A and B are shown apart, each in its own frame.
Chain A
Amino acid sequence: MANLRELSRKDELLTGGHRACAGCGAPVAVRQVLKAVDTPVVVGCATGCLEVTTTIYPYSAWNVPFIHSAFENVAATVSGIEAAYRSLKRQGRIQRDIQFVAFGGDGGTYDIGFQALSGAMERGHDMVYICYDNQAYMNTGIQRSSATPRGAATTTSPAGRVATGGKSQYRKDLTAVMAAHDIPYVAQTTISHWNDLITKVRKAFAVEGPAFVNILAPCRLGWQIDSADSIEICRKAVDTCFWPLYEVENGVWKITVKPKEKKPITEWLRPQGRFRHLFKPGNEKIIEEIQADVDRRWEMLQKRCEVGGAGMMPRE
């Protein structure tokens, strides 16, 4: 269990003064993640909003060693840093214990960066990969990604006169895909549940080998919500079971926050401008289908957690 008082005393490793929008979920996610590490940490970051808002030369918001090289390769870049660390440590040229963390948006993680991510996890580099999932390519102007939920309007999946329903495909369940990599730790969390987030990130850093944590982190512009509502909307994602909080530790699946009462999906959809068109007459069926999909996935997750994994036995 994380303790707020103790966390608030720790140094800010991502300082204020960066240029992210008010209400942006990404820096909140990063600050919480970095609060969870006690050893010195080296950060890698994919191209995207987080990188461009925190490193505008000659300024940097990072109080830790930081590297950005390209959009799709943060996992590979950090693989190289971690390999250098192992090499130099083995040679006795460095003594310190250092942790490695890679941050990528959903675009840089689910889509273009997926290959490098999968490769790095498979090779077993000792790093924590954090996806801050704002469900679209926000930096280039809110284009759909494979993390964009069904029904959301983006600049490349707009709600038009013929296609009235926004994005027609469901989102990719990347957390489950990462669990299938059979790495020591995989988790899904969000910034409204700081305690859940910090506990999971601590576990992710504690394991030897790769860990993946998927953090739902709103983009108020892309989601068309008020800056003040970013945290609240994440709670709704959890309460509606749209974004269940769970972890897969050594193959064992576990729901970490179970909503007392599962709210209807409209509570998550309605406050967001990107879903506005779904509430127009004629689109009722889409909302029903989205609800059915959420229900189906929530059922499946609960079953996985009951058996401790989708047929996967825990490691010794």
Chain B
Amino acid sequence: MKRRDYLMLSLLALFIVVASLFIGAENGPLEGADGIAMEYLSSSNKNLEPWFESIWAPPSGEIESALFALQTAIGGIIIGYYIGKKRNAPADNSICSPK
């Protein structure tokens, strides 16, 4: 793919996310879909009680988003490291010899 293709695809993905944000905000509070499903479950099954508790939960929304950011960062760092390594080591990329 050419550099322009990457740019176009990235813009397209960004456009869909932003459009979803604005259309979605009109249609609901943008809560988690899984949460909505569990809420529906509890309202349709009145005597439903979770039979097991999470052993640990983030104490606040802030901590939760920090951990989510951490998760994204770990992924991003690994991918970035890989691309950086490959870009700087063309020799490693051309020959593949089993160890």
User: Do the two chains bind?
Assistant: no
Residues of B at under 8 Å CB distance from A?
none
Which residues of A approach B to under 8 Å, CB–CB? none
